[in-house]
Amino acid sequence: MFGKIIKRNIEGSKVFFKFENGEGRIEVINPFIINIFSGLKYDDHYSRAIEDLKVENCDFTVQNKGNYIKIKTDELEVRVYDEFKVDFYDKNGKVLCEDYKGERDPFIRRGNGSIAEGEGHAVEANKEKHKIEVVKKIFGDEKFYGLGDKTGHLNKRGYGYEMWNTDDPSPHVESHKSLYKSIPFFITLREDCVFGMFFDNTFKSYFDMAKENSNYYYFGADDGNLDYYFIGGNNICDILRRYTDLTGRTPLPQLWTLGYQQSRWSYAPETRVREIAKNFRENDIPCDVIHLDIDYMDNYKVFTWDNEKFKDEKKALKELKEDGFKIVTIIDPGVKKEKNYNIYEEGLKNGYFATDKDGVTYVNKVWPGDSVFPDFSEEATRKWWGENQKIMLDAGVSGIWNDMNEPASFNGPLPDDVQFKNDGRNSDHTEIHNIYGHLMAKATFEGIKKHSGKRPYIITRAAYAGIQKYSTVWTGDNQSFWEHLRMSVPMLLNLGMSGMSFCGTDVGGFSFDCTAELLSRWVQVGTFTPLFRNHSCIRTRDQEPWAFNGETLNINRKYIKLRYKLLPYLYDLMWKGENTGLPVMRPLVLHYSNDKNVYEINDQFLFGENIMVAPILEQGKTYRSVYIPEGTWIDYWTKEKIEGGKTILKNAPLDTCPIYIKAGSIIPNYPEQNYIGEKEIKELTLDIYSGNGEYEHYIDDGESFKYRDGEYTLYKFSIEAKEETIINVRKVNEGFKVYKSLKVVYNDNAKEVYFGNNKIEFVENNNGIEFNIPAEEGTIVIK
Ligand code: GLC
């Protein structure tokens, strides 16, 4: 399509190419990140993911090598050929990624599909040509990770996907090409290299990961610019750090958002909400959040309350908060078309709603019946929507749940020609669809930030790349199927590999009736998912922790309490994530990419670097094989030490989720609480596993942005196992209150303990010893 290179010239960080049939450019963003661009629609980037592209002024050279132009940074070499084919090498000349030089050549689909279609089978079409296509060569053992919330397995090789945010209530299975989110980013891992690829295009886009031909993979789109970023690095952590440098990181959330959350369509009226709250406290199950689904509203009108069901919502929310329950309310984009409804009238008067091609406000059906759709692509609308959040905050709401923002509609999909202002560009639905939910969440975030001054808590269903800056995400309407519990693990891991740390699924499953055993196993996974919310559909069986039997209740209690115990560790992970882009839930490949045994592990994951979880994901199963990666790991329940690099068989009766701790780990624990903030934490417990390691523990006020001005305390612990075990305690920053004491639980044998020169008394427990020391800097020696 581009033809031969005619001319090139360098301007700052960019090398411009004139081809026979078009123009393109390569930009050196930094020595590791290269942007490949051709303005097929707009002259420059028009990104909703990258809001602040930081181009480093770094040195690079450009040379004409005859049949290609070589651009070299300190870390990468880029070769640009005719047809705007681009290859990437590392600084030593090793090939990383090549454009496929042949034509696409899909496998043949034999026969006439109509007979199969007649019986209702889905039959795939033949090769589709897309306006934009970038085809990359397969060298051999490529694995692909990322691509957001797609169904199926961790490694995406051999599958094809589409980015078109879709609300499909049918059971999500591997044939679903798209779900609610569009995250056009993936990581390619080969035996000797790793790199990331971010295709920043909001139109419907396509990702074929060597499905149609095992010699290549490709991405493409129906419209927009050719605009993608090649991200180099030494390992997956580097790639994620750089991808999130571009698209943003998950900011530290309020601490309570990491607590347990209970939801259902719907807890209403108010008496039912209070009953749920009471049940938590009576059953001794910690809980921080109750969600109100659509039935709290007056006729599904957003930013209203049904005052028959909630007589005095302010009073109710205040009283619930006094007992530790924060309320999160659902807000959908569809605004009921109803005369004298203030939100509708205001939006109409100010032109805040999307229109049809003739400029008439576009109407479709959602929960409220005929509804109109705010044009979140326009700043004025986002501001207005942000201001409306105050209505909810004033009622005492603590967070907002954005749903149906693909946008979903009941009267057929929004036509392609629905019009959006797109901050002055005037675009149609084909361009805005995939960023509609993203921009709704952004508007919500900005409004809540402005009016509460606290770290906003938003959950969104639809998303585009970069959503992690504004919102946590959940994976939409799963079902109470074992299959969906199993799939939730690779799905959440790939969300993490797409920059999204704060994510979760509906624990217990949304549609269909849950069983006691399924909920027991699901809550074990949920304990380790950053967003830990049990949610279920209207008219399904009750699914609260107490809804089945005593055993299920006990299992829920055991794991929800474990979650609260691990909260400081989880909060530390979120804090580190804001600085590194690393997710909370990680596939083993993220830290053990040299071990080919882990590339396809779909049913185990790391919770940070120190904890590995190997849940039971099958009905009736009470044992499983567990792959233990290199190093020594300790069974969390039995404290048995296991040497890694092998597979073991683990017994796991219904109340046991296999959990392993890496040797040399220091895991901070909180005492039991009914909700976060119930107790002032004066003593931190350190759960210590002998070996060598370091650990940073972070504390702040848990809700404001003051940490960004230094109001936090950071401890640095290290452990070294020689003949004696030496544990160092340091305070790197002391900008927030500090603990008074540390309780050390040392999971190994010991004869004597010293803190500085003082001999410390200890007590023995089943697996080791416990002792207390003041929370001061110093050195602990355990003999
Ligand atoms: C959608 C959401 C679900 C919610 C329901 C009613 O199906 O995905 O979570 O309960 O709408 O609001």
* Residue range 359-396, pLDDT digits in tens: 999 999 999 999 999 999 999 999 999 999 999 999 99
Q: Is 403 a catalytic residue?
A: yes
- Rounded distance from Cα 403 to ligand 1 centre (Å): 7
In this structure, are 69 and 175 located in the same domain? yes
Residue 72 maps to a domain: yes
- Rounded to whole angstroms, the Cα distance separating 188 from 193 reads 8
Contact between 783 and 759 under an 8 Å Cβ cutoff? The reply is no
**Residue 177: predicted pLDDT:** 96
Q: Hey, which of 294, 479, 510, 536 would you mutate to test ligand 1's pocket, going by the most ligand atoms within 8 Å of its Cβ?
A: 510
Rounded distance from Cα 295 to ligand 1 centre (Å): 11
Query: What atom of ligand 1 comes closest to residue 332's alpha carbon?
Result: 12
Active site residue 308: no
**Backbone φ/ψ region at 569: left (φ over 0), alpha (ψ -120 to 50), beta:** alpha
Where does 227-332 have alpha helices with state H?
236-247, 270-282, 313-322
Tell how far the Cα of 149 is from the centroid of ligand 1, in angstroms: 17
Q: Is 3 helix (H, G, I), strand (E, B) or coil?
A: coil
Convert 79-90 into a string of H (helix), E (strand) and C (coil).
EECHHHCEEEEE
- Name the CA radius of gyration of the chain, rounded: 27
Residues 598 and 592: beta-carbon distance below 8 Å: yes
Question: If you take atom 3 of ligand 1, which residue's CA is the nearest one?
Answer: 477
- Ligand 1 centre distance from Cα of residue 596 (Å): 39
Ligand 1 atom at minimum distance from 169 CA? 7
State which ligand 1 atom lies nearest to the alpha carbon of 404.
Answer: 1
Q: What is the pLDDT of residue 123?
A: 86
**Residue 370 is encoded by which pair of tokens?**
């005929």
> Residue 18 is which amino acid?
K
User: For residue 492, what are its two tokens?
Assistant: 């959440």
Q: Are residues 567 and 603 in the same domain?
A: no
CA distances from 773 to 388, 478, 781 (A): 50, 47, 12
Asked if the structure places residue 637 within a domain, the reply is yes
Q: Examine the fold and report which residue of 247, 279, 296 is the final residue of a domain before the chain moves on.
A: 247
Q: Which candidate in 149, 306, 403, 428 is catalytic?
A: 403
Q: Is residue 361 part of a domain?
A: no
Structure tokens at 207: 């990702």
d(CA 482, CA 454): 38
Spell out the residues 6+ positions from residue 625 whose beta carbon is closer than 8 angstroms to its own: 647, 648, 649, 650
Q: How many Cα neighbours within 13 Å face the side chain of 410? A: 9
Let me know whether 93 and 191 are in one domain.
yes
Distance CA 679, CA 706 (A): 21
Maximum separation of any 2 CA atoms in the chain, in Å: 84
What CATH number is associated with residue 136? Answer: 2.60.40.1760
Asked if 565 and 590 sit in the same domain, the reply is: no
Q: Considering only CA atoms, which residue is closest to atom 5 of ligand 1?
A: 265
Q: How many H helices and E strands in the chain?
A: 12, 52
Nearest CA to ligand 1 atom 10: 265
Judge contact between 484 and 478, C-beta under 8 A. Answer: yes
Separation between Cα atoms, residue 562 and residue 545, nearest integer Å = 15
Which of these, 632, 656, 617, lies nearest to 721 by C-alpha position? Answer: 632
Phi, psi of 206 (to 5 degrees): -130, 140
Residue 307 lies in a domain: yes
In a domain, residue 660? The reply is no
Which among 167, 406, 431, 578 is annotated as catalytic? 406
Hey, which of 170, 293, 506, 512 would you mutate to test ligand 1's pocket, going by the most ligand atoms within 8 Å of its Cβ?
293
What's the gap in Å between 169 CA and the centre of ligand 1? 10
Residue nearest atom 4 of ligand 1, based on CA coordinates: 265
pLDDT in tens, 616-655: 999 999 999 999 999 999 999 999 999 999 999 999 999 9
Q: Find the CATH number of the domain harbouring 759.
A: 2.60.40.1180
Answer yes or no: do 574 and 431 share one domain: yes
Please list every protein residue whose CB sits less than 6 Å from any atom of ligand 1: 265, 293-294, 330, 403, 461, 476-477, 535
Sheet with 132-137: strands ordered across: 132-137, 216-221, 205-208, 160-163
The ligand 1 atom at the shortest distance from the C-alpha of residue 408 is: 1
Residue 258 lies in a domain: no
- The domain that holds 317 is classified in CATH as 3.20.20.80
Quick one: 569 and 695 in the same domain?
A: no
Point out the residues of the chain with pLDDT beneath 70. Answer: none
- Contact residues for 550 (Cβ-Cβ < 8 A; gap 6+): none
Ligand 1: centre distance to CA 474 (Å): 11
For residue 477, indicate whether it is catalytic.
yes
Note whether residue 346 is domain-resident.
no
Provide the token pair at 462: 């639809």
Q: Are 744 and 617 in a shared domain?
A: no
CA of residue 264 to ligand 1 center, whole Å? 9
Rounded Cα–Cα distance for residues 754 and 776 (Å):
14
Please tell me whether residues 571 and 619 are part of one structural domain: no
Question: Pick the catalytic residue: 27, 477, 572, 748?
Answer: 477
592 shares its domain with 480: no
Count of the separate structural domains present in the chain: 4
Same domain, 299 and 443: yes
Tell which one of 403, 404, 505, 539 to mutate to probe ligand 1, the residue whose CB is within 8 A of the most ligand atoms: 403
**Residue of the CA atom closest to atom 7 of ligand 1:** 477
For residues 463 and 612, membership in a common domain is answered with: no
b/e string for 99-133 if b means 16 or more Cβ within 10 A?
A: bbeeebeeeeeeeeeeeeeeeeeeeeeeeeebebb
Domain edge (last residue) among 649, 664, 694? 649
Final residue of a domain: which of 649, 672, 695?
Answer: 649
| Choice from 170, 180, 264, 330 to test ligand 1 binding pocket (greatest atom count within 8 A of CB) | 330
Q: What is the helix (H) or strand (E) element at residue 7, kind and residue range?
A: strand 5-11
- Shared domain check, 539 and 610: no
Let me know if residue 76 belongs to a domain. yes
- Locate the ligand 1 atom nearest the alpha carbon of residue 538 and give its number: 10
What's the gap in Å between 266 CA and the centre of ligand 1? 9
- Given a contact cutoff of 8 angstroms between Cβ atoms, the answer to whether 773 and 780 are in contact is yes
Domain that holds residue 609: 585-649
What is the 268 CA–ligand 1 centroid distance (Å)? 15
For ligand 1, mutation pick of 265, 301, 367, 461 (most atoms within 8 Å of CB): 265
Q: In the block, which residue shows the tokens 């970023």?
A: 229
- Which sign does the torsion angle of CA 563, 498, 581, 191 carry? positive
